[in-house]
Amino acid sequence: MEDKKFEAPSSAYYVPLTLTRYGLSEVLNNLLQLEEPQPFDILIDDKFLRNSLQRYLKARNLSHEDIVLELEYVLALEAPKEKGECQHEDWISCIDSAGPSVLSKYCCTGGYDGTVRFWTRTEDEDPFNFSCSLVLSAHSKPIKDICLFQAEKRSCQLLTASQDFTVKWWAINKVHKEQGQSLIAARKDSLLGEFKIHKGSVESVSVAPTADRFISGSFDGAMYAWELSEFDPTDNTENDNGEEPNAKKQKLEPKRKPILKMDEHSGCVSALQWTEESKCWSASWDHSIRSWDLPTGVCTKKMYCGTPIYSISCSKSSPLILSGHADRTIRLWDPRSTGHLIVNQYKSHKAWVPSVQW
């Protein structure tokens, strides 16, 4: 370890096989004679020890007689602590942020009350202190997913998916309201487009890396790809008689049509992630994660497990995928593998895992 005070002498020690990580951590604290006890995680063969030494040996059919195990240790991560809270009026279904560095000064949440709330850092020194800076009444029914893109310091674009069977596209020009201004965003000024074709609740959306298309997935297992193109009102300037319409008449946006349909999932499409220009991943309650070729809509890979999948997150630095499940487990997938696609499982949660993120 980098800190010399945590370096224990490299020697052989006799310890009871019944010791777990906690017991071995106590042994290390005694060896190091630390003034303030520190929790340690123990590694054997580059894997964390999560049971007793006896169970470790039994799982690998190793004899406990005259065996010497080489142990490594690192400082254990502390359990998460609450640093702040942002109160909502109803259940929170989704959250998205504007990105790293300076853009991370705001994020937005979607709720079962049909509203999107933007949260910005307050001007005090506490980096965890956020306040509501904007409220957008987006849908008449609960919002199930949101996707923030084209994010700048004070503006962004946003997709919202809802149980009202629609996806809506919004332009937020001022995330930070000036003092004294209303927190309520004007719908007519913010709405860029509405996408209607799903026959069930729209559970997930994801924008392409090029920010010119997106995909949506619904409870009935259908997925659609759409183009993000603004409607030009001049395309609809004549009425049925060929006359110029009254300026006060509302110009209705024509019905948007998807550019692609994918309907191989037999259950709710719970998560989507558009990772490359021509490739996306989907996860479903039908126990599968699938890869899609987007120019053609062909499914190129299917990966199965024995439980519904609620969420996925694709690593930006490798092909690995994390997934959250109904059986309280997080699974790590390697699509490149020719053997077992699930390379690891993490079982510490006491309830189902609705969201994961790298």
8 Å CB contact between 208 and 192: no
Higher-confidence residue of 143 and 14: namely 143
DSSP letters, 38-94, are --EEEEETTEE--S-HHHHHHHTT---TT-----EEEEPPPPP--------SS-EEE
User: How many whole angstroms separate alpha carbon 96 and alpha carbon 88?
Assistant: 15
CA dihedral 299, 300, 301, 302 (to 10 degrees): 20
**Under the phi-then-psi rule, with left for phi > 0, alpha for psi from -120 to 50, and beta for the rest, what region is 101?**
left
CA 307 – CA 311 distance, rounded (Å): 12
Domain 92-228+254-347 belongs in CATH node 3.90.25.10 = no
* Contact (Cβ atoms closer than 8 angstroms) between residue 220 and residue 199: yes
Q: What percent of the chain has pLDDT over 70?
A: 86
Q: Tell me the pLDDT tens digit for each residue of 251-308.
A: 456 678 999 999 999 999 999 999 999 999 999 999 999 999 998 999 999 999 989 9
pLDDT tens digits, residue range 185-209?
666 668 899 999 999 999 999 999 9
Q: Which structure tokens are listed for 328?
A: 């309280």
- CA-CA distances (angstroms) from residue 93 to 39, 184, 187, 278? 34, 20, 21, 28
What are the angstrom distances between the C-alpha of 131 and each of 56, 111, 137, 309? 48, 16, 18, 33
Confidence of residue 250 (pLDDT cuts 50, 70, 90): very low
**Spatial separation of the C-alpha atoms in residues 20 and 51, rounded to whole Å:** 6
Q: Are the beta carbons of 117 and 108 closer than 8 angstroms?
A: yes
Q: How far is CA 88 from CA 92, 110, 131, 190, 340, in A?
A: 7, 10, 11, 22, 42
Q: Look up residue 244 and give its two tokens.
A: 């110029």
What residues form DSSP beta bridges with 306? Answer: none
Cβ–Cβ < 8 Å for 348, 332 = no
pTM, entire model: 0.77
Single-letter amino acid code for the residue at 263: D
Residues 93-147 have pLDDT tens digits of 999 987 665 445 788 999 999 999 988 877 666 667 778 888 899 999 999 999 9
Measured from the Cβ of residue 145, the count of other Cβ atoms closer than 10 Å reads 23
Give the start-to-end residue ranges of the domains of the chain. 9-75, 92-228+254-347
Q: Looking at residue 152, what DSSP letter applies?
A: -
